[in-house]
Homo-oligomer: A and B are copies of this chain.
Amino acid sequence: MSDRELIVKHLGLRGHRVTGSRRRVLDALLAAPAHFTVDDVLQRAPGVGRATVFRTMKLLQDMNVVCRVLMEDGSLHYRLSTTGHHHHLLCRHCGRIEDFVNCDVSALVTELSSNTEFEIEGHWLEVYGRCQSCRARSAGPADKRAIGSAADVG
């Protein structure tokens, strides 16, 4: 069974209807690049209303089909997701994204809990850098940065 069919089936199981618009949004998502905005989806799913795309995206977020990606400038993009909780490793230079699940924030959380008396319930972590192929490429001539400064991200 394809990803598409699986998701469609899941929709049904959760008591949601499988409508033409939802199928079209889904197709648009599955054909989209690593990360995209709602506007990208709108253009790839002509005829589907803006509000419906937003509604569908929210539904798919709840179903863990898509997740949000925090860009360095603070804007939010979307990305297809298969697992539940995970983090992203974004290449600043080509936009490539890798997921990582084995997030060892637990040690940090334990430490923070004892230092601060907070009970930690969740976290959001995005990591930015340069992927292998971009490193290889920039090892050559000039190193042109594709995307702006890191601002308050460190």
Binding site for B on A (CB under 8 A): 61-62, 64, 67-68, 70, 72, 74, 76, 81, 84-85, 89, 91-92, 98, 100, 103-105, 107-109, 111-112, 115-132, 135, 150-154
Residues of chain B within 8 A (CB-CB) of A118 are 89, 91, 98, 127, 129-132
Q: Decide: A152 and B120 in contact? CB cutoff 8 A.
A: no
Residues of chain B within 8 A (CB-CB) of A109 are 127
Closest chain B CB from A83 CB (angstroms): 11
CA of A9 to CA of B91 in the docked complex: distance in angstroms? 38
Asked whether A117 and B103 contact (CB < 8 A) given A123-B154, A124-B72, the answer is no
Asked whether A124 and B153 contact (CB < 8 A) given A74-B76, A116-B89, A129-B118, the answer is yes
Partner of A130, one of B91, B98, B121, B127: B121
CA of A62 to CA of B64 in the docked complex: distance in angstroms? 36
Q: Decide: B123 and A153 in contact? CB cutoff 8 A.
A: yes
